[in-house]
Amino acid sequence: MKIGNFDLNKDGTFIIAELSANHNGSLQTALETIKAAKEIGANAIKLQTYTADTITLNSKNPDFMIDGGTLWDGKNLYELYQEAYTPWEWHKELFDYARSLDIDIFSTPFDKSAVDFLEQFNPTSYKIASFEITDYELVRYTASKQKPIIISTGIATIDEIQDVVNICKSVGNENIILLKCTSEYPAKLEEANLKTIPNMKETFGVEVGFSDHTLGHIAPIVAVTLGAKVIEKHFILDKSIGGADSGFSLDKQEFSELVKAVRDSEKLLGIVDYSLNEKRKKQRRFARSLYICKDVKVGEKFSEENIKSVRPFYGLHPKHLKDILGKTAKKDYKFGDRVENSF
């Protein structure tokens, strides 16, 4: 599967820097964040496309008030999203600027009007947020645009995940990437349950990645080793600017370390390979082989007293030891001689 020009099968892990609310209301900050994301090696910058009115109601009824120990307790949903949203009039400049830097850019639409709005920019893909995974009609409409669709699964049941996979396929979209996600901000390490990643791939038969809300970058490294092909992490230019998502975002230095760690993990994982390259063949000289450990006269029998498996590997393979023991020497051997095929 490809996301834009990035081939998930050949190019490694697709690393997404999530801008979200980390522009903190400044277009210039948003542009500078895109530039920084490119500089540190992220493959894509991701926006969120909504307004407070397209995502919730301006109500102070208890249902709409945020509590439970979050970073946003005391606000209602409308106030949070009014503070955090990315103005739609910025989108063209953000898309144009990212493309001028050759970094991928796409967005999370939160309703059908956002999908329609984003279509003018021909994004390489779409993202469905964890809390929108239950909006089956939004998933269906977004998938119908036939772009790769990345779906976070933070609050979904296994049946709901299967439902959205089926919905995407029902409209002819097979380019599905499910993201393991813990919808806590920040998320605790013990809540990550990254062993779910290979199980998701096996269960749903699609590509799988990881949307990370933990602090630091150890979780993405582990996710990559478990088969994650996409890593998404909130990125902020400078934590001192604050904002709705600053408490669980990585700054430029931290995100740079994440990118390096993921790329190093890819190098460590490599490929399934049992072949011996020239370097490995050369190192075989330090392996064991059969050598004479006590002088042997012609006609004398080989035994464990006069033949031994030792380093280096210039003699006969140790697997032949049992074949040699008890046989008669056809010539004289001295201590340190190789045992060769002509024994």
Write down the pLDDT at residue 138. 98
Q: How confident is the model at residue 103 (pLDDT cuts 50, 70, 90)?
A: very high
Taking CA atoms, 211 is separated from 36, 58, 167, 184, in Å, by: 20, 29, 21, 11
Write down the pLDDT at residue 177. 98
Q: What is the pTM of this model?
A: 0.89
- The boundaries of every CATH 3.20.20.70 domain in the chain are 2-50+85-269
Looking at the chain, the whole-number percentage of residues with pLDDT higher than 90 is 86
Average pLDDT, the chain: 94
Judge: domain 2-50+85-269, CATH 3.30.465.10.
no
- The boundaries of every CATH 3.90.1210.10 domain in the chain are 275-343
Tell me the mean pLDDT in the region 146-166. Answer: 97
Tell me the mean pLDDT in the region 294-311. Answer: 97
Tell which CATH architecture fits domain 275-343.
Answer: Alpha-Beta Complex (3.90)
C-alpha–C-alpha distance, residues 182 and 154, integer Å: 5
CB 321 within 8 A of CB 290: yes
